[in-house]
Amino acid sequence: MTETATITELTCTRCGHKWYPRSPALPTRCPKCISPYWNKPRKIKTSKPDDVNNVKAKKYRLLCLKCGYDWTSNNNHPTRCANPKCRSPYWDKPREEI
pLDDT in tens, the chain (98 residues): 566 667 789 999 989 999 999 888 899 999 999 999 999 988 887 766 555 555 567 888 999 998 999 999 888 889 999 999 999 998 888 877 55
Report yes or no on 47 lying in a domain: no
Report the length, in residues, of the chain.
98
Q: How far apart are CA 36 and CA 29, in angstroms?
A: 4
Report yes or no on 97 lying in a domain: yes
Report yes or no on 53 lying in a domain: no
Report yes or no on 26 lying in a domain: yes
Q: How far apart are CA 77 and CA 64, in angstroms?
A: 11
Report yes or no on 15 lying in a domain: yes
Report the pLDDT value the prediction gives residue 43, as an integer from 0 to 100: 83
Say yes or no: 69 and 96 in one domain: yes
Number of independent structural domains in the chain: 2
Report the pLDDT value the prediction gives residue 3, as an integer from 0 to 100: 66
Report the pLDDT value the prediction gives residue 97, as an integer from 0 to 100: 57
User: Which structural domain range is residue 12 located in?
Assistant: 8-41
Say yes or no: 63 and 96 in one domain: yes
